[in-house]
Amino acid sequence: MPLNHRVRILIACPDRPGIIAAVSQTLLALGGNIVTADQHSEDPDQGMFFMRVEVDFPEGTEEEHTALPFQALASRFGMYLRVSRSDTRKRIAVFVSREDHCLKELAWQCETGEIGASIALVVSNHPHAANWAKTSGIPFYHIPVIPSHKTDAEAEAKALLHDIDLVVLARYMQILSPGFVADWAGRMINIHHSFLPAFIGPNPYRQAFDRGVKLIGATAHYVTADLDQGPIIEQDVQRVDHRHRVHDLRRLGRHVERMVLARAVRWHVEDRVLIHQNRTVVFP
Amino acid sequence: MPLNHRVRILIACPDRPGIIAAVSQTLLALGGNIVTADQHSEDPDQGMFFMRVEVDFPEGTEEEHTALPFQALASRFGMYLRVSRSDTRKRIAVFVSREDHCLKELAWQCETGEIGASIALVVSNHPHAANWAKTSGIPFYHIPVIPSHKTDAEAEAKALLHDIDLVVLARYMQILSPGFVADWAGRMINIHHSFLPAFIGPNPYRQAFDRGVKLIGATAHYVTADLDQGPIIEQDVQRVDHRHRVHDLRRLGRHVERMVLARAVRWHVEDRVLIHQNRTVVFP
Amino acid sequence: MPLNHRVRILIACPDRPGIIAAVSQTLLALGGNIVTADQHSEDPDQGMFFMRVEVDFPEGTEEEHTALPFQALASRFGMYLRVSRSDTRKRIAVFVSREDHCLKELAWQCETGEIGASIALVVSNHPHAANWAKTSGIPFYHIPVIPSHKTDAEAEAKALLHDIDLVVLARYMQILSPGFVADWAGRMINIHHSFLPAFIGPNPYRQAFDRGVKLIGATAHYVTADLDQGPIIEQDVQRVDHRHRVHDLRRLGRHVERMVLARAVRWHVEDRVLIHQNRTVVFP
Amino acid sequence: MPLNHRVRILIACPDRPGIIAAVSQTLLALGGNIVTADQHSEDPDQGMFFMRVEVDFPEGTEEEHTALPFQALASRFGMYLRVSRSDTRKRIAVFVSREDHCLKELAWQCETGEIGASIALVVSNHPHAANWAKTSGIPFYHIPVIPSHKTDAEAEAKALLHDIDLVVLARYMQILSPGFVADWAGRMINIHHSFLPAFIGPNPYRQAFDRGVKLIGATAHYVTADLDQGPIIEQDVQRVDHRHRVHDLRRLGRHVERMVLARAVRWHVEDRVLIHQNRTVVFP
């Protein structure tokens, strides 16, 4: 398949001299023109090196033609190297429960093109968003989660996720099994309605109110087996004061949640996020 | 003593109809002119009511002349009622360890008048800031804290705190005894170098780095027996990203810390803060 | 009509002693319980005094029963005094052109109840949003604006605005006549896509890009005869940098615009805004 | 002189394929290890390309040894290429008038090492800061500016600026001649106490108050012949509301001013700023 569109390359490897020279040399030899490049070196001595490049190849450049040089580059430096075409629209599966503001914001930004992806389907343990999904032309699957039949519900959801690039838990209040989480490692984003690691667990706005904080926040992170412990992609906060009751925090929080989640999803979809250990490198 | 200057009144009581009418009536009868007034009602049914009023009394109004009406008002509504003259400059004792940026910011803002108070003395377990204090004309007491003699050190510090209105722990890395803390309840402010309740305890910037957060913060709170658990007065945050190492977080954090602490101290000094249970009402 | 719901009172008058006492006394005499109260005094000597009170009256209190005491109060102090029932949902007419993000955000927040109002109709000089409006059940009027027939278009729009409490220009790119503006003085809000007074006039994002600013902003203001000069209700900004081209500024700006406009509309709808000269007092 | 310390290279040239490859190749050939690299391409087709690299050369690498390869590189691509050693502490001359908060913040950050430079001297048209400068060990020159003798005053100041790398106008309220400005093009930073381009000219806080804005700001920019029109390096804002009078805006603004100026100076001093036309590229 010819690489007629811009290609994004994500790289991670132990730092050492000569990486940028080798990468740029390889691309030049292939006729590629670097359009944007971002690097980050944790520590030139013994840290990791991260890079994101957007490249335009000459018309007609075949994908297989580039495969070998990239493979040589990767093996020379012990690189994680991922190539993504910018002309394939990623497909997102959104999981929601009752609160639908994050889902709607994502749908909206996908529609306007701010997020260059499409919502392929919505899974919910509540029928709440069914009508909206129908109107929006998005397939909606109501999969109730009964405590005694959690495994069945998850299996049902799992079966729907073919050709899906990213799972987004957009205020999905159910806990997924470690197996499911492992399958989607690095490709499943959750929005937690607090400024993590503050207020881990349920009802963070109630916790925030009780603690009397002066700012509330939201955190978008990759999902890992440890709940609310995954690598953070984005966070933001909103000022509050003594006049705000718990329901005010919820209302104000909803705006932060949807903005934070939408940014995180956009960055993931544009291949701007690298995960290393429990941290992310984001080239925005 | 005549009340020739603006007077600040702080009120807290169970909410019920008629409080504002009674307060404003009482002040009017005394010839007082309300210059600013702020109220907050948690819940008109069964919550608390909070109020802050600034009043100008006619020249020559004697303090004792106002005492009885205020007493009557307070007992009628079961009020906490505190009257402060705005012409008495509060005296602050600042406790520091090695890091002096918070101390210097406070000194600076006291000097320029942004904080309408004066730093009466500095107590430190390090000699570090002695020279600066000398140049600035602020009495400096170096009281080393040896683990085996903590009680002595505290007693020494305690003896210095006569005529002090507020104790500020401006990055003081020593834990004070419950007795000391109790003596200064509601009159001792600490700056914690994280967005509480995230990263309680030592080395919050290291913790923040390890967790990979995208915002760091600082929290000014009243000191209570439970470390880092006291009522929060003010918080703020600063955006960071993957490029920032622990020492960068410290550097960026210092700016947030001094701004947050200075705001909290200013509000306290201007009698803008009411404490109820573990939360503050701040009328900024 | 009985005042069975919470009532909001907005007051503005020249400051002088005794206003708060008189207001609270009047309300107490009517059996009203002040639930929240906010005041602002520009200057106790010769400035203006502003107040917002929310009051609960006893069940069965008739509106006409309160009219006379309020009238007496107002005339005694030369007050502007406006009473609004919180149980009547304000009706908004939204004017848009091609860009529909502000319209959609308003519709969304009205639907979720964050803005306690309803969008009664949409007027647009483009057919663009017609389908969306139909799906949302909002009457949509496509009124093209042809330069030579501007007066006709405006007359057509005007005829639609019966029972409308607020007109919102949600990125409506047409200039309204002074007569129209005067009719809706204090009841028509515009969103300008810059941090006013910077970048007045057309294409502010292009101007912002050319000037190389590091923050872009949006401004919600009441519409007056002088374009982009009306009293500002709310503003906010978003950080940008050299990587952002004009279309990025537009994209980022859209988020600020809709948030700023939604806040301004909510405050207006909840009777939280007083206009004095060319400035607003907002009790949020 | 051996390049035993980290070296910073700033590059600007018309974009075209192969630049990154050529730069990294050149550095690799010299034994240099790229520690950090930032690029920005306006537009791969016909825009400018900007780059900042930090490089570690092997111990003993002589400066003249690198000169020729850099020259070859620069002429091949029509590059502006500037090499700076990170071990030479830049020397700053600060010009102030009456307000000294920006001066003090700069002095403070230079002292703590946050800004890796030193304040070589202070020039002021007021004697105000003389004592503080003396205590701080910074040479202070009181050069009064009398309208009829402006040229003399400027000549006197000019004579002091030997071995100076950067001139900072830290709330200096005098206008400098076009000749002086031209001499220091790209090496003279001003702080304007508004969010430019809003409130150009004198007394911006008064203007901001009169316009009723809800945010105030500050702008650090390079000085050009057109007052307040130079390339912006950094801006920030602070929320205000109807309670703030002009002197409150001034007070709040001072904090924004000193933070914005300090960031801009730090970035300049660390060779993080490139100017192109009237815009800056900042690699923070």
Q: What is the pLDDT of residues A210-241, one digit of tens each?
A: 999 999 999 999 999 998 899 999 999 999 99
pLDDT at residue D111, rounded to an integer = 93
Q: How many Å apart are CA B35 and CA D244, to the nearest integer?
A: 14
Contact D232 C241 (CB under 8 A): no
Q: Considering only CB atoms, which chain D residues are within 8 Å of B251?
A: 114
Contact C101 A112 (CB under 8 A): yes
pLDDT along chain D (284 residues), means of 10: 84 94 94 91 86 92 90 97 92 97 97 95 96 94 90 93 97 94 97 95 94 97 93 97 95 96 98 96 96
- pLDDT value at C184 more than 80: yes
In this prediction the pTM is 0.95
Q: What is the DSSP letter of C58?
A: P
Task: Give the minimum alpha-carbon distance from C29 to chain B in angstroms, rounded to a whole number.
Answer: 10
pLDDT along chain B (284 residues), means of 10: 84 94 94 91 86 92 90 97 92 97 97 95 96 94 90 93 97 94 97 95 94 97 93 97 95 96 98 96 96
Q: How many Å apart are CA D253 and CA D276, to the nearest integer?
A: 29
Return the structure tokens found at D10. 């700033």
Q: Considering only CB atoms, which chain A residues are within 8 Å of C104?
A: 108
Say whether residue A162 is in contact with chain B using an 8 A CB cutoff.
Answer: no
Say whether residue D42 is in contact with chain A using an 8 A CB cutoff.
Answer: no
Say whether residue A104 is in contact with chain C using an 8 A CB cutoff.
Answer: yes
**Out of B35, B38, B44, whose CB is closest to C44?**
B35
Q: Considering only CB atoms, which chain B residues are within 8 Å of A197?
A: 198-199, 211, 213
pLDDT at residue D1, rounded to an integer = 67
User: Phi and psi for D80 in degrees, rounded to 5?
Assistant: -80, 120
Q: How many Å apart are CA D181 and CA D175, to the nearest integer?
A: 10
Residue C65's Cα: distance from chain center in Å?
A: 30
Say whether residue C43 is in contact with chain B using an 8 A CB cutoff.
Answer: no
Contact D108 B104 (CB under 8 A): yes
- pLDDT value at C277 more than 80: yes
**Closest residue in C to D40 (Cα–Cα):** C243
Contact B234 A212 (CB under 8 A): no
H/E stretch holding C56 reads strand C48-56
Say whether residue C141 is in contact with chain A using an 8 A CB cutoff.
Answer: no
Q: Considering only CB atoms, which chain B residues are within 8 Å of A212?
A: 231-232, 278-280
* Chains contacting C (3 or more CB pairs within 8 Å): A, B, D
Q: How many Å apart are CA A164 and CA A158, to the nearest integer?
A: 11
Q: Considering only CB atoms, which chain C residues are within 8 Å of B50?
A: none
Task: Give the minimum alpha-carbon distance from B180 to chain D in angstroms, rounded to a whole number.
Answer: 33
Say whether residue D128 is in contact with chain B using an 8 A CB cutoff.
Answer: no
pLDDT, average across residues C184-209:
95
Say whether residue C275 is in contact with chain D using an 8 A CB cutoff.
Answer: no
Say whether residue B104 is in contact with chain D using an 8 A CB cutoff.
Answer: yes
Q: Considering only CB atoms, which chain A residues are within 8 Å of D25?
A: 21, 24-25
**Closest residue in A to D47 (Cα–Cα):** A35
Q: Considering only CB atoms, which chain A residues are within 8 Å of D20?
A: 20, 24, 34, 37
Q: Residue C78 contacts by C-beta under 8 Å, 6 or more apart in sequence?
A: C13, C14
Q: How many Å apart are CA B79 and CA C49, to the nearest integer?
A: 27
Task: Give the minimum alpha-carbon distance from B170 to chain D in angstroms, rounded to a whole number.
Answer: 17
Q: How far apart are the first and last CA of chain C?
A: 28
Contact D21 A27 (CB under 8 A): yes
Q: Considering only CB atoms, which chain C residues are within 8 Å of B41?
A: 34-36
Task: Give the minimum alpha-carbon distance from A274 to chain C in angstroms, rounded to a whole number.
Answer: 20
**Out of C104, C135, C259, whose CB is closest to A255?**
C259
Q: Which of D54, D103, D114 to probe the B interface (max B CBs under 10 A)?
A: D114
Contact C232 D243 (CB under 8 A): no
Q: Side-chain half-sphere of D143: how many Cα atoms within 13 Å?
A: 25
Strands (E), C132-184: 140-142, 166-169
Q: Which of A20, A36, A51, A283 to probe the D interface (max D CBs under 10 A)?
A: A20
Query: CATH second-level architecture of C3-85?
Result: 2-Layer Sandwich (3.30)
Contact B235 A242 (CB under 8 A): no
Q: Considering only CB atoms, which chain D residues are within 8 Å of A57?
A: none
CB B11 within 8 A of CB B41: no
Contact A25 D21 (CB under 8 A): yes
Q: D44: cis peptide before it, omega within 30°? A: no
CB D176 within 8 A of CB D154: yes
CB D234 within 8 A of CB D267: yes
* Chains contacting A (3 or more CB pairs within 8 Å): B, C, D
Say whether residue C210 is in contact with chain A using an 8 A CB cutoff.
Answer: no
H/E stretch holding A70 reads helix A63-77
Q: How many Å apart are CA D102 and CA D118, to the nearest integer?
A: 15
Q: Residue D180 contacts by C-beta under 8 Å, 6 or more apart in sequence?
A: D154, D158
Task: Give the minimum alpha-carbon distance from A93 to chain B in angstroms, rounded to a whole number.
Answer: 26
* A–B interface: beta-carbon pairs under 8 A: 73
Return the structure tokens found at A212. 């009397």
CB C200 within 8 A of CB C237: no
Task: Give the minimum alpha-carbon distance from B126 to chain D in angstroms, rounded to a whole number.
Answer: 17
* B–D interface: beta-carbon pairs under 8 A: 9
**Out of D36, D38, D44, whose CB is closest to A33?**
D44
- pLDDT value at C264 more than 90: yes
Helix H segments across chain D?
19-29, 63-77, 101-112, 130-136, 150-160, 178-183, 204-211, 246-269
**Could you give the dihedral angle defined by the CA atoms of residues C264, C266, C269 and C273, in that order, rounded to the nearest 10 degrees?**
-40
CATH class of D90-282: alpha beta
Of C247, C187, C261, C280, residue with least CA distance to C219:
C261
Q: How many Å apart are CA A67 and CA B248, to the nearest integer?
A: 39
Say whether residue D212 is in contact with chain C using an 8 A CB cutoff.
Answer: yes
Residues (pLDDT < 50) of chain A are: none
Q: Considering only CB atoms, which chain B residues are within 8 Å of A234?
A: 214
**Closest residue in A to C135 (Cα–Cα):** A135
Cα-based angle B29, B35, B41 (whole degrees, multiple of 5): 85
Q: What is the pLDDT of residues D130-175, one digit of tens each?
A: 999 999 999 999 999 988 888 899 999 999 999 999 999 999 999 9
**Out of A101, A114, A255, whose CB is closest to C251?**
A114
**Closest residue in A to D40 (Cα–Cα):** A36
Of C97, C91, C96, C105, residue with least CA distance to C257:
C105
- Burial classification of residue D68, based on how many CB atoms lie within 10 Å of its CB (0-12 exposed, 13-18 middle, 19 or more buried): exposed
CB C103 within 8 A of CB C140: no
CB A35 within 8 A of CB A55: yes
Q: Considering only CB atoms, which chain B residues are within 8 Å of D112?
A: 101
Q: How many Å apart are CA C279 and CA A278, to the nearest integer?
A: 49
Beta-carbon count within 10 A of D90 CB: 20
Q: Which region, left, alpha or beta, applies to residue B125 given φ > 0 means left and ψ of -120 to 50 means alpha?
A: alpha
Say whether residue C20 is in contact with chain B using an 8 A CB cutoff.
Answer: yes
CB C37 within 8 A of CB C9: no
CB C39 within 8 A of CB C49: yes
pLDDT at residue B63, rounded to an integer = 86
- How high is the ipTM of this complex? 0.94
pLDDT at residue B1, rounded to an integer = 66
Interface of A with C in 44-103 (CB under 8 A): 101
Contact A34 D17 (CB under 8 A): yes
Q: What is the pLDDT of residues C17-70, one digit of tens each?
A: 899 999 999 999 999 989 889 999 988 777 999 999 999 999 888 888 899 999
Extents of the domains making up chain B:
3-85, 90-282
Task: Give the minimum alpha-carbon distance from D238 to chain C in angstroms, rounded to a whole number.
Answer: 10
Contact B231 A212 (CB under 8 A): yes
Q: Residue A140 contacts by C-beta under 8 Å, 6 or more apart in sequence?
A: A121, A122, A124, A129, A130, A133, A134
- Burial classification of residue A151, based on how many CB atoms lie within 10 Å of its CB (0-12 exposed, 13-18 middle, 19 or more buried): exposed
Say whether residue A241 is in contact with chain C using an 8 A CB cutoff.
Answer: no
Residue tagged active-site, from D165, D228, D236, D248? D228
